[in-house]
Each structure stands twice: as C-alpha cells, then as structure tokens.
Chain A
C-alpha cells in the first residue's frame, strides 16, 4: 500500500544517468541552456522512469517495459540516411517540403530548408536555435503545463540533440505540406532525442506532417517532443505518423496552443512499434478556438500502444472533437486515456470525445479512461467509449449480400479505421495516409 518515493534505481535509469553525464559537455546550447538541461535531468532523477502508480502512466509501466537504456546514437552516415529515406517514404506521391532528422541529427543536405526560406518560413535547427542569445530559447525546453511533471519530457529536455524550429510569419499561407522526417538508421540498438517547435503566426496557415520510421528487428529507442502554437485566426493541420520497427520503443510528446479563432486538425496514426506512447496536450487558449483530434492506433504481435490526450478548454466558446479508433490483435495491449478539462472561464464550451476499440483476438487487451473535468456550468461535453468485437450483424448483412466473411470483416475493419482520417481538413493528405492503414491491414493478417 505504500507509495514511498524510492531510492533504488533500475538498470535503465542508471544507464540514462551515465549517458547524460557523458553527453553533457557536447550537447548543443549556451550556458543558460546547459543549466536548464541540468534542471531537467534533476527532475528526471527525482521522478525516475514512470510506473503504474503514476496516474498518467497507469497503463504503461516504463519501469517494467524499458529494461535497458541503449546508448545515444552518433550522427548518422549520409548514405545510410538516403537509403533509409527511400525505403520508408510512405508519402512518396505527395509534393511537400522535407526536413530530415536522422538519429536525432538534422540532415542539411537532404532537407528543403532553402525552399522553405524562400516561401518566407523561418527555419532553424534545434542545435542552432539553442545557441541563440534570446530568452525564448529556454522556453523550447520547457514542459507543457498540461503534462505536469513528466519524467519522459524532462529526459528529452536534458538530452535533446537536434530537431527543427519553424516560424510561419503572420498571414503566410505555406503552399505545400511540410514534412518533418524522423528516421532511425542505425544497425545497432541506439537511442535518439529530438525536439522541435512550430509556430504558426496569426492568420497564417500550414500543413505539417511528422513521420517516424526505423528498421525492423532492432531495439532502438526514440524520444521526441513537438511543440506547436497557432496564432489568432491561424490554421494548422498536423498529421503525425509513426510506423516504427517491431522491436522499437517510441515515446512521443506533443503540445499545441490554439489562439483566438484559430483551428487545429490533428491526426495521429500509430503502427508497428514494440512499445509506443503518444502523449498530447492541447490547450484552446483563445475565444472560439477549435480542435479536431483524431487517430488510429493499430496494434499487433506483442505491441504495447498507449495514447494519452488532454484537451484543455481555457477560453469561452471553444470547440473540440475527438475521435480515436483502436484495433488490437494477437497479444497486443493498448490503452487510451483522454481528458477534457474545462476551465471556469470557458463557458459555452462544446467538447466531444469518442474512443472505439476492436479486439480481434482473445489475448489482446485494451483499457480506456475517458475523463471529463468540468469547472464551468454553461457547457456541452460528452464522451463515449466502446470496446468489443466486429459487429456480427454487420458481417451478416454483408454476407447476405454475397460478400465472403473474410472480405466482409476486412471491409468493416477498414471502414472502422478510415473514419478518423476524415477528421483531417485536407482531403488530399487524408487520402495519402490511407494506404498506411491498408498496409497494416494487409500486412498483419489474423
């Protein structure tokens, strides 16, 4: 029964402390940044790896799941990067700007930095940005308020090597989607820490694709953080795709602040990783801000996939729509924790959260915790959660029309997973990511 703060450190925690001590001197940034990193690491040391008694990590006990902390990756070989990029370009058909972060290091030669600069978008690498003498530099290493004290985000702040910082000036409409590519190229098990920030100015509009891929069969570890802000009347679309290797562990944190009258469409697709955690903190800070958050979490084999989302309504007349679909088969274990938080000022909030899960095998497991936390009275909030199997009556309906059972099930499954894709305001982008769902459905038969 006791929840004593423990003093014992796991093997992984000890290795992380060792890695931080080793990397400290060569991590990018000014002296102020170095102090900030020390603070962040002290927070991590105090908290240790999250475990099931930490409510936000109840369904993902990292102390048990992350037995080892593999060494931090060295800057990659450019040939390997090129090879990895051609192998894993899921969105090959789409015309977009690409910014490549390989093994936690920005790859200038393979990135479209100049073209973006020409569109008026300011681009810096995280390493460059941390060297600037400006107070906002430290903000990039801060933990989003909604996350409270999170050991994994603190660890990232301590160890982040690189990433991209994008500023879309007010009124700028970026013509093509911008893809931030995270790729692991190493043949041995290594870890990488990337941190990026995107600022979409007032009245500006940008579409952002964040992808993560890595090799099969290698126990690499990735910890990524992305912070986004959308200025008044701005519009942003984020498609976050993680198709990691089967033995990888991927911990992703995301935060977004949406100002007055601005909108954000956020879509997350998860497939492949041995262990994946997505934690997102959305804050609707300006009156009339709107959010659509949707996702598909596809789990198979022995995968463990956990999504935690906080949607904070901090201003009047804000709207949020959340739809997440999960499919778990084989021995996969999944979890979804969602919370709509309505602050006292946020009268006229309209919030909806829906999470549906299909379990396709007897040994698959899923836990859901959809929360409402409401401090204003003139609101409409609701959530729904279902867990079950493919609807037999729907299968029967299709069979009675001559569709064989297998196909009927596949059709229903596809329809189930495709629905969240429609949440992305950009139909072309939605269509482009659909093959990823198809690939998972085809590649992971029951």
Chain B
C-alpha cells in the first residue's frame, strides 16, 4: 500500500493551511484597466488580435450579461462580488514568445516548481513516463504549448484558444457557444464577454490522439479574475483524453475563476476529460481563496459517442460547478466520476447533469464527497429523460463521508423521467468513518491516521481508478493533504 503510505506522509509533513502551490511569481505584467465595460471587452479582443466577428460575439455577450442577475440558488455563501474591482486581463509583459527560449525564465521556474514539464526534451528523457502534451495558461494567456508539431502530424490541433481563433476561425466559429450558449447562465455569459485564453483541441475523423493532452492553469496576478475558455471537438470515431490542472498563489482576497468548457463528440467519438482542481482554498480561518464558478458541458452530438468527466476537487474557497453531458446521439454514453474534498471553510456545490435526449442512451454517476473541518459539501445533480428518449438507463451513486462535527454534507438529486422506458437508479449514503472499520484496522496494528487514510482511500477508489495513472497518484496525495488536520 505505497499510495496509502504516501498519503499519510504527506498529511504528516504539511499543515492544513500550508498550501503547497501558494507562492506568487514576481513578474512584470500587462493588465487591462480595472473593471468591466465595453472598453474592457474591446481591449481584450484587440490584445488578442481577434477578427471582428469575435469582438461582436463578445460584445453581444457583454450586453446580455448586463441584463442578468447573479444566481443565488447554490448552497454557498459569500460576500457580493464587485465585478468592477477585478482586472479582466493580465498577461506577462512583452511580445508573445516564439519559442520556449524566449519565455521569461521566471515563468519557466514557476512551472518547474509546480512540476509541470514544459520542455519536450526533458519530457522525452523520462522514459518511464508517458508523454503528455501541455498547454500552460498563465493568468490570461497561454505561455506555451508543447508537442504541437508532433500532434499536428497526427492531424490533432492543440493550441491556445487565441491562436485557434486566428488560425482556424472556421472551426472555432462552427462550434464555439454551441454547447454552452452565450446566454446559458450569468457566469457563462460573463466568460463569453471577457474570456482570455484556454485550450482548443480538434481531433479529426478516425484519429486516436497519440498522447494525453493537458492544460495547466495558473492564476498569478493579484485582483485578477481568470476566465478561460476551452473547446474540444472530436470528429467521427476520434478519441482524446484531456487533463486539466489548476493552482493559484495564496492571497488574502478572493479571486474569481469563471471558466467555460465545451466538448463536442460526433458519431462514435470518445472524449475523456479529467480535472484535478487545486486552486488556493483559503487559509485555516477561511480567508482568501478562489471562487471557482465554472460551466462545463459536453454534447454527445453523434450516435454511439461517449463523454466522460472525472474530477478531483480539493481546492477553491467555493466550488460551483456541474460538468454535464447532453446525450443527444442515440446509444451515446455519459459518465461523471467525482471526488470532492472540502476542509477548513471551503464550500463545494458540485454535481452533474445528464440530459437524455437520444434513444438507448446511458449514463453513470459516481460522486464521493468528503467534508471535514467547517466545510460544506453538496452534491447537486439532475438526471432527466426526454419523452422520446426510450431505453434510457442511469445509475447514480453518491456517497458522503463526514469527518468532524462541524462539517456538513448534502445530496440534492433531481430525477425526472418523462417516459416509461427510462430506468433510473439512484442511491446515496452519508456517514462518518465507521468506528468498527477503524477498530478493525487498529487491532491489526495500523495507526489511527494511517487507518483513516486507508479507509478514505478505499472510499474514493471507484473514482481514482478512472483517472489517468499519473493523475491518480497526485489525486491521492492531494486528498491526503486536504484532509490534514481533520483526521486522527
């Protein structure tokens, strides 16, 4: 049980509020004027050298956003956000680097510190590690994307969103905003107006992406919001696995992160999207931390397509996200595997939506929530079958584990069957770590902390198994770290 051992070691070595990735990089940056107005939107669009249609698209979203109200239905509490007190664009100063050699060494050092491989050579040198192509997004811009050329040989387009808008406008135009419409919700509309960067992935017909793709998001600047936008398109029969990681420095103020991720899967395509979300969660007293208000949605547009979301949520002061799948194509499959760990004063309101529109569509949901300290952890989900969606099946399991008397866990599932040939099963449990389980482990000579880690690891095993190998190890460590101070 090396993984367990590692978790325990990690737990021992790190205090609850000593967030490992909480350092800030001192780097000159270029920012948009503070606040949000049409000018801000124009500024961002001009900075990125966008075509007119993109600017119009953004402005349309901005005008729409002005008419919207902030949603309040989630079970999270926070002071009102002043949208005029945020920088909507921040980028390292200077012209865009043409190659890695031109990238500010400070930046490279940052990524090194975060353990993100940006040099292809180095990556190749590590024989035992599978190769992963990385798009590194620093505040509002993509710093570097690795393995682009090699991927291009296979026909896979992997680049920053800004680049894609310039180089492949026809593809972007065809798909952008078709899964999460501009007017979808308050934060998605805001994102549509001011999104800065993010990743673009296009896998052509019949291509199996030769390596894992990943994007690493880092918020560095003070008082900035990060509004990334990611679009993944898998043509007929294509396959891609995509990983996303995120961290931020420790700061006393709250920072807003409002991303939109759109996935389109055509006939027989499969997209696997994994997230390890580790934004700064705030300190022991609940001060600071990232507000993570994200809209993620996949559209199984083609028959027999499959979209699978796997997420490990350990960071952020507040998490508010529901990676969803619209099962439009007949026989398509949606999956959602989630581990949400909350400690301190973190608040999590997360879950998924599986909207069954096509015949014989299937979905599976496994959600594991672990609430410790004073945190609150809510699973909120919707499974619905359209009137014509016959032969639909869903199986949902959501379990919550409570550690400590001040933690809270909630389960709010909506299950809506609009035709008789839908078969839905939902089960949920909430409990604490069983005294009998602890006793069993302890009487076999396992120390208390180790025993708790063992039980927690067992609790989240179903989900960890869904993660790509490297992420699985990191996720396991993260869970251990997040729970530090609450176990034993």
Closest to A377 in B: B402
Q: In whole Å, how far is A124's beta carbon from the nearest beta carbon of chain B?
A: 41
**What chain B residues lie within 8 Å of A365 (beta carbons)?**
416-419
Q: In whole Å, how far is A428's beta carbon from the nearest beta carbon of chain B?
A: 34
Distance between Cα atoms of A385 and B382 in the complex (Å) = 13
**What chain B residues lie within 8 Å of A2 (beta carbons)?**
69
Distance between Cα atoms of A381 and B67 in the complex (Å) = 42
Q: Does B405 contact A (CB under 8 A)?
A: yes
Query: Does B428 lie within 8 Å of A370, measured CB to CB?
Result: yes
Q: In whole Å, how far is B42's beta carbon from the nearest beta carbon of chain A?
A: 25
**What chain A residues lie within 8 Å of B414 (beta carbons)?**
367-369
- Which one, B390, B400, B420, B428, contacts A364 given CB within 8 A? B420
**What chain B residues lie within 8 Å of A362 (beta carbons)?**
390, 419-421
Q: Mark B419-443, 1 if CB is under 8 A from A, else 0.
A: 1111111111111100000000000
Closest to B64 in A: A1
Closest to A391 in B: B423
Closest to B428 in A: A383
Query: Does A383 lie within 8 Å of B427, measured CB to CB?
Result: yes
* Stretch of A134-142, A214-222, A353-361 on the interface side: A353-361
Q: In whole Å, how far is B406's beta carbon from the nearest beta carbon of chain A?
A: 8
Query: Does A384 lie within 8 Å of B417, measured CB to CB?
Result: no
Query: Does B420 lie within 8 Å of A377, measured CB to CB?
Result: no
Q: In whole Å, how far is A339's beta carbon from the nearest beta carbon of chain B?
A: 9
**What chain B residues lie within 8 Å of A376 (beta carbons)?**
402, 405
- Which one, B68, B403, B419, B427, contacts A377 given CB within 8 A? B403
Q: Mark A169-209, 1 if CB is under 8 A from B, else 0.
A: 00000000000000000000000000000000000000000
- Which one, B402, B415, B430, contacts A382 given CB within 8 A? B430
Q: Does B224 contact A (CB under 8 A)?
A: no
- Which one, B69, B390, B423, contacts A387 given CB within 8 A? B423
Q: Does A45 contact B (CB under 8 A)?
A: no
Q: Does B240 contact A (CB under 8 A)?
A: no
Distance between Cα atoms of A385 and B410 in the complex (Å) = 16
Q: Does A114 contact B (CB under 8 A)?
A: no
Distance between Cα atoms of A389 and B69 in the complex (Å) = 41
For chain A, residues 385 to 403, give those with C-beta under 8 angstroms from any C-beta of chain B: 385-389
- Which one, A360, A368, A373, A378, contacts B420 given CB within 8 A? A360
Q: Does A436 contact B (CB under 8 A)?
A: no
Closest to B403 in A: A377
Distance between Cα atoms of A382 and B286 in the complex (Å) = 30
Q: Mark B53-73, 1 if CB is under 8 A from A, else 0.
A: 000000000000001110001
Interface size band for B: 35 or more
**What chain A residues lie within 8 Å of B426 (beta carbons)?**
368, 370, 383-386
The number of residue pairs between A and B whose CB atoms lie closer than 8 Å in the complex comes to 122
Q: In whole Å, how far is B412's beta carbon from the nearest beta carbon of chain A?
A: 5
Q: Report which residue of A1, A379, A381, A387 has the largest number of chain B beta carbons within 10 angstroms of its beta carbon.
A: A387
Known: A1-B69, A374-B410. A381 touches B429 (CB 8 A): yes
Q: In whole Å, how far is A103's beta carbon from the nearest beta carbon of chain B?
A: 37
Query: Does A361 lie within 8 Å of B413, measured CB to CB?
Result: no
Query: Does A389 lie within 8 Å of B421, measured CB to CB?
Result: yes
Query: Does A385 lie within 8 Å of B424, measured CB to CB?
Result: yes
Closest to B412 in A: A371
Q: Mark A74-97, 1 if CB is under 8 A from B, else 0.
A: 000000000000000000000000
**What chain A residues lie within 8 Å of B403 (beta carbons)?**
377
Interface residues on chain A, number (Cβ under 8 Å): 38
Q: Does B11 contact A (CB under 8 A)?
A: no
**What chain A residues lie within 8 Å of B422 (beta carbons)?**
359, 387-388
Distance between Cα atoms of A372 and B413 in the complex (Å) = 9
Q: Does B408 contact A (CB under 8 A)?
A: yes
- Which one, B69, B390, B402, B416, contacts A379 given CB within 8 A? B402
Q: In whole Å, how far is A319's beta carbon from the nearest beta carbon of chain B?
A: 15
Query: Does A382 lie within 8 Å of B400, measured CB to CB?
Result: no
**What chain A residues lie within 8 Å of B413 (beta carbons)?**
368-371, 385
Q: In whole Å, how far is A239's beta carbon from the nearest beta carbon of chain B?
A: 28
Q: Does A380 contact B (CB under 8 A)?
A: yes
Q: Does A44 contact B (CB under 8 A)?
A: no
Known: A2-B69, A374-B400. A388 touches B405 (CB 8 A): no
For chain B, residues 356 to 412, give those with C-beta under 8 angstroms from any C-beta of chain A: 387, 390, 400, 402-412
Q: In whole Å, how far is A377's beta carbon from the nearest beta carbon of chain B?
A: 4
Query: Does B427 lie within 8 Å of A384, measured CB to CB?
Result: yes
Known: A372-B400, A377-B402, A389-B421. A383 touches B432 (CB 8 A): no
Known: A377-B403, A385-B415. A371 touches B410 (CB 8 A): yes
Q: Does A366 contact B (CB under 8 A)?
A: yes
Q: In whole Å, how far is B356's beta carbon from the nearest beta carbon of chain A?
A: 12
Q: Report which residue of B67, B415, B418, B427 has the largest number of chain A beta carbons within 10 angstroms of its beta carbon.
A: B415
Distance between Cα atoms of A221 and B24 in the complex (Å) = 66
Query: Does B425 lie within 8 Å of A372, measured CB to CB?
Result: no
For chain B, residues 167 to 207, give those with C-beta under 8 angstroms from any C-beta of chain A: 186
Known: A1-B69, A362-B420, A385-B426. A380 touches B405 (CB 8 A): no
Query: Does A375 lie within 8 Å of B408, measured CB to CB?
Result: yes
**What chain A residues lie within 8 Å of B69 (beta carbons)?**
1-3
Distance between Cα atoms of A108 and B408 in the complex (Å) = 51
Distance between Cα atoms of A360 and B432 in the complex (Å) = 39
Query: Does A379 lie within 8 Å of B430, measured CB to CB?
Result: yes
Known: A384-B427, A385-B426. A374 touches B402 (CB 8 A): yes
Distance between Cα atoms of A371 and B390 in the complex (Å) = 26
Q: In whole Å, how far is A226's beta carbon from the nearest beta carbon of chain B?
A: 28
Closest to B185 in A: A1
Query: Does B424 lie within 8 Å of A374, measured CB to CB?
Result: no
- Which one, B68, B406, B416, B423, contacts A367 given CB within 8 A? B416
Q: In whole Å, how far is B403's beta carbon from the nearest beta carbon of chain A?
A: 7
Q: In whole Å, how far is B477's beta carbon from the nearest beta carbon of chain A?
A: 24
Q: In whole Å, how far is A353's beta carbon from the nearest beta carbon of chain B?
A: 9
Distance between Cα atoms of A379 and B418 in the complex (Å) = 34
Q: Mark A300-332, 1 if CB is under 8 A from B, else 0.
A: 000000000000000000000000000000000
Q: Mark A2-23, 1 if CB is under 8 A from B, else 0.
A: 1100000000000000000000
Distance between Cα atoms of A377 and B369 in the complex (Å) = 13
Q: Does A435 contact B (CB under 8 A)?
A: no
Q: In whole Å, how far is A363's beta carbon from the nearest beta carbon of chain B?
A: 8
Distance between Cα atoms of A357 and B67 in the complex (Å) = 41
Known: A372-B400, A379-B431. A359 touches B409 (CB 8 A): no
Q: Does A120 contact B (CB under 8 A)?
A: no
Q: Does A344 contact B (CB under 8 A)?
A: yes
- Which one, A361, A364, A383, A388, contacts B411 given CB within 8 A? A383
For chain B, residues 144 to 187, give those with C-beta under 8 angstroms from any C-beta of chain A: 186
Distance between Cα atoms of A389 and B417 in the complex (Å) = 11
**What chain A residues lie within 8 Å of B430 (beta carbons)?**
372, 374, 379-382
Query: Does B424 lie within 8 Å of A377, measured CB to CB?
Result: no
Closest to B431 in A: A380
Closest to B433 in A: A377
**What chain B residues lie within 8 Å of A3 (beta carbons)?**
69
**What chain A residues lie within 8 Å of B405 (beta carbons)?**
344, 347, 376-378
Q: In whole Å, how far is A354's beta carbon from the nearest beta carbon of chain B?
A: 9
| Given A362-B390, A377-B404: 6 more A-B contacts, CB < 8 Å | A55-B73, A362-B420, A368-B416, A369-B413, A373-B411, A385-B415
Return the 6 tightest CB-CB contacts between A and B, nearest first: A359-B420, A377-B402, A388-B423, A382-B429, A372-B411, A385-B426
Chain A to chain B contacts (Cβ below 8 Å), 7 pairs? A347-B405, A370-B415, A371-B410, A377-B432, A378-B432, A382-B428, A383-B428
